[in-house]
């Protein structure tokens, strides 16, 4: 590793490689790896303990499956029930290569669409496995009783999502995540009743215990009593979701945070591609200064809704119903005729920003575009549109006070998902042996941009099929030596957590946690949001560092640690967000290309599209933590494409 400081902010270390990924024909790799994996006999599984943090789709499915297999599982969530996991908020659907519409879909086409949608910054092997497993997920969920939408004859229905030209998305009206989560929850509760899974609700993981280089447990805080607890195991699985709330305003639930993954990163788990954050194009626009979160309007709405703005900025203040057809600019249909309104999210978001920057945005702030269903209602009728999207229309009406059946919706891009996450190998194991990471918490499957309806696919694939198929290879080396509560590594982790809590409570500053979080989000959105450039990124890094120091000097936490104390909870999460935000900007600064959700203003085509530089940046950026205010170390994992040709994306 060279100690040379690059760009004044980071150091480049040795390259990293995924040593678990098998070689050979891509269609055989997953089966090959499963055969190579060491097994644990059913009798020995009862001797092995696994901790799973997070009980959304990825974590809940993993806990249920590993419990069913016979392992001793402890599952943790900070909500009062696994049914409140943010997975419940997913609306539009889940992709699977079933080809029910007979439109030439296939596992290979889903694989290709996902690699292309991610702008050629994901691993071929991982993405092909995801596409291959997708069909099994549908069978699993149907067997659980998930009420997917069906056609008149009783067959499962499909619809289209962005970045594809086939219909492969299975859905349950506009509440697919909720129905899938109930399926995973009932499977989980069955194992709780069977005593193979012990469920710990209202517990937040605050540290990972690493002994002799292996993950051996966690430190968790009971959020009701404040008790700091130690939980030990043979392996730890993180299924804690993404870090979109680092931007303050996002479509994520208010409690979503990055503390579990960031604590693991500080202990040695590399962080992959943190600057790959997704801005979703169809969200209800910001309504005021005191708003605390944003609301998603499902991408599925773009199947029937048409996106437009006035051609003339002078018409932006008019009632949209009074603007004639010839004076409307259906800009996505105009620019991308082959895909129209169903282009990938990164492209649709930048296009919306562009027309608003031109002064043609609508709504009170000028930051909005229309999503219009008049044509669809005229074509199939109001009842048919309501049958597909009724709950989404009701939600929009309650929030905005406008009737979307009569007046076009107003939408604008917002932070929604994070493609970056902890680096994992083909087995979903991080750089800390024994620490596995699933779902949105890892980086592995979506490259620089996730296609719509693929988050549910990845979460359930990892939880039901991939992790249970790979974790046995590690657990076959156990059970590992039993640890005592007074082991030095355990005591050190406990002391670290208690010291952090005491420090927050002792500051007694003058500003709330939200005061600082909001400022942090503003810096990120303005300088590392939909468009990034070097000068602003450097400014952001310095501003984040200064604000972080002010936060630790002037934050005010009321009450005490033995109470239900939400300000204390938020303080820990926001402290981690400050460190993560700096790494996001460093990663964005170092990647001097545009790809997917990462758009560098200095790297674009003459038509304003993202321009990659495959000769320099065809790699995963895996970052190693070296200390607060110390330069992180960049480890590059080269991306090799054997089955997909790397080329400039085109959706025209």
The residues that are catalytic are 345
Residue found under tokens 């991308």: 336
Using a 10 angstrom Cβ sphere, with 0-12 exposed, 13-18 middle and 19 or more buried, the burial of residue 2 is exposed
- State the Cα–Cα distance between residues 405 and 270, nearest whole angstrom: 48
Q: 191-200: b or e for each residue (b if 16 or more CB lie within 10 Å)?
A: bbeeebbbbb
β partners of residue 202: none
Using a 10 angstrom Cβ sphere, with 0-12 exposed, 13-18 middle and 19 or more buried, the burial of residue 386 is middle
Using a 10 angstrom Cβ sphere, with 0-12 exposed, 13-18 middle and 19 or more buried, the burial of residue 3 is exposed
- Cβ distance 513 to 567 under 8 Å? yes
User: Strand 214-222's sheet: what is its strand order?
Assistant: 203-211, 214-222, 228-232
**557-565: which pairs have CB atoms within 8 A and are 24 or more residues apart?**
557/504, 557/505, 557/507, 557/508, 557/513, 560/226, 560/505, 561/226, 561/501, 561/502, 561/505, 562/225, 562/226, 563/226, 564/223, 564/224, 565/226
Cα 110 versus chain centre, distance? 19
Give, in degrees to the nearest 5, the angle at Cα 247 between 245 and 249. Answer: 75
| 563 Ramachandran zone, left/alpha/beta (phi>0; psi -120 to 50) | beta
- State the Cα–Cα distance between residues 389 and 377, nearest whole angstrom: 12
Q: 109-120: b or e for each residue (b if 16 or more CB lie within 10 Å)?
A: bbbbbbbbbbbb
- DSSP, res 102: -
- State the Cα–Cα distance between residues 240 and 236, nearest whole angstrom: 12
- State the Cα–Cα distance between residues 447 and 119, nearest whole angstrom: 7
- State the Cα–Cα distance between residues 30 and 107, nearest whole angstrom: 13
DSSP string for residues in 533-573: -HHHHHHHHHHHHHHHHHHHHHB---S-TTS--HHHHHHHH
- State the Cα–Cα distance between residues 71 and 209, nearest whole angstrom: 20
Q: 11-49: b or e for each residue (b if 16 or more CB lie within 10 Å)?
A: bbbeebebebbbeeebeebbeebbeebeebeeeebeebb
- Cβ distance 168 to 131 under 8 Å? no
Strands 49-53 vs 72-76: parallel, antiparallel or unpaired: parallel
- State the Cα–Cα distance between residues 217 and 209, nearest whole angstrom: 5
Whose CA is closest to 12, among 632, 614, 630?
632
Give, in degrees to the nearest 5, the angle at Cα 12 between 618 and 19. Answer: 60
List, in sequence order, the alpha helices (H) in 259-344: 259-266, 331-335
């Amino acid at each position: 590793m060279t100690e040379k400081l690059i760009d004044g902010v980071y150091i480049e270390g040795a390259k990293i490689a995924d040593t678990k990924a098998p070689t050979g024909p891509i269609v055989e790799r997953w089966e090959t790896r499963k055969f190579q994996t060491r097994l644990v006999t059913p009798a020995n599984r009862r001797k092995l303990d696994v901790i799973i943090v997070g009980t959304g789709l990825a974590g809940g499915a993993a806990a249920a499956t590993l419990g069913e297999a016979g392992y001793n599982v402890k599952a943790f969530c900070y909500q009062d029930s696994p049914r409140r996991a943010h997975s419940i908020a997913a609306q539009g659907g889940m992709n699977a290569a079933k080809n029910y519409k007979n439109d030439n879909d296939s596992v290979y086409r889903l694989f290709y669409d996902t690699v292309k949608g991610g702008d050629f910054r994901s691993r071929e092997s991982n993405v092909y496995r995801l596409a291959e497993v997708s069909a099994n997920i549908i069978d699993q969920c149907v067997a659980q009783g998930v009420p997917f939408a069906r056609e008149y004859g009783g067959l499962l229905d499909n619809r289209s999502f962005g970045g594809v030209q086939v219909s492969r998305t299975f859905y349950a009206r506009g509440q697919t995540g909720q129905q899938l989560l109930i399926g995973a929850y009932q499977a989980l509760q069955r194992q709780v009743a069977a005593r193979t899974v012990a469920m710990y609700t209202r517990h937040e993981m605050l540290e990972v215990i690493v002994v002799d280089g292996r993950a051996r447990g966690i430190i968790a805080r009971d959020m009701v009593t404040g008790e700091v607890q130690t939980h030990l195991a043979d392996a730890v699985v993180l299924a804690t979701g993404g870090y979109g709330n680092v931007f303050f305003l996002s479509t994520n639930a208010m409690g979503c945070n990055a503390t579990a993954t960031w604590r693991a990163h500080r202990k040695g788990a590399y962080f992959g591609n943190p600057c790959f954050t997704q801005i979703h194009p169809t969200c209800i626009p910001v309504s005021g200064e005191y708003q605390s979160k944003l609301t998603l309007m499902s991408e599925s709405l773009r199947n029937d809704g048409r996106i437009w703005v006035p051609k003339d900025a002078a018409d932006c203040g008019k009632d949209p119903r009074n603007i004639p057809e010839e004076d409307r600019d259906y800009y996505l249909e105009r620019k991308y005729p082959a895909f129209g309104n169903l282009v990938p999210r990164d492209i649709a978001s930048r296009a919306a920003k562009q027309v608003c920057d031109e002064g043609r945005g609508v709504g009170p702030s000028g930051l909005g575009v229309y999503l219009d269903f008049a044509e669809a209602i005229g074509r199939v009728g109001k009842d048919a549109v309501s049958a597909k999207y009724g709950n989404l229309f009701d939600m929009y009406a309650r929030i905005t006070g406008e009737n979307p059946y009569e007046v076009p919706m107003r939408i604008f891009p917002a932070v929604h998902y994070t493609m970056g996450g902890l680096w994992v190998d083909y087995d979903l194991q991080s750089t800390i042996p024994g620490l596995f990471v699933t779902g949105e918490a890892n980086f592995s499957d979506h490259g620089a941009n996730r296609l719509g309806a693929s988050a549910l696919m990845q979460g359930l694939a990892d939880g039901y099929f991939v992790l249970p198929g790979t974790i046995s290879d590690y657990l076959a080396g156990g059970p590992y030596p039993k640890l005592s509560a007074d082991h030095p590594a355990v005591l050190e982790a406990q002391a670290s957590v208690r010291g952090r809590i005491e420090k927050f409570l002792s500051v007694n500053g003058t500003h709330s946690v939200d005061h600082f979080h909001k400022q942090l989000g503003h810096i990120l959105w303005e300088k590392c949001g939909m468009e990034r450039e070097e000068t602003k990124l450097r400014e952001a890094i310095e501003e984040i560092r200064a604000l972080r120091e002010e936060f630790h000097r002037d934050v005010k936490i009321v009450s005490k640690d033995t109470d239900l104390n939400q300000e204390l909870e938020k303080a820990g999460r926001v402290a981690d967000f400050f460190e993560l935000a700096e790494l996001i900007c460093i990663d964005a600064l170092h990647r001097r290309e545009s790809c997917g959700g990462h758009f560098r203003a200095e790297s674009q085509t003459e038509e304003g599209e993202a321009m990659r530089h495959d000769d320099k940046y065809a790699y995963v950026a895996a970052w190693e933590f070296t200390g607060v205010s110390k330069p992180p170390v960049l480890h590059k994992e080269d991306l090799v494409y054997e089955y997909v040709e790397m080329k400039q994306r085109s959706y025209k």
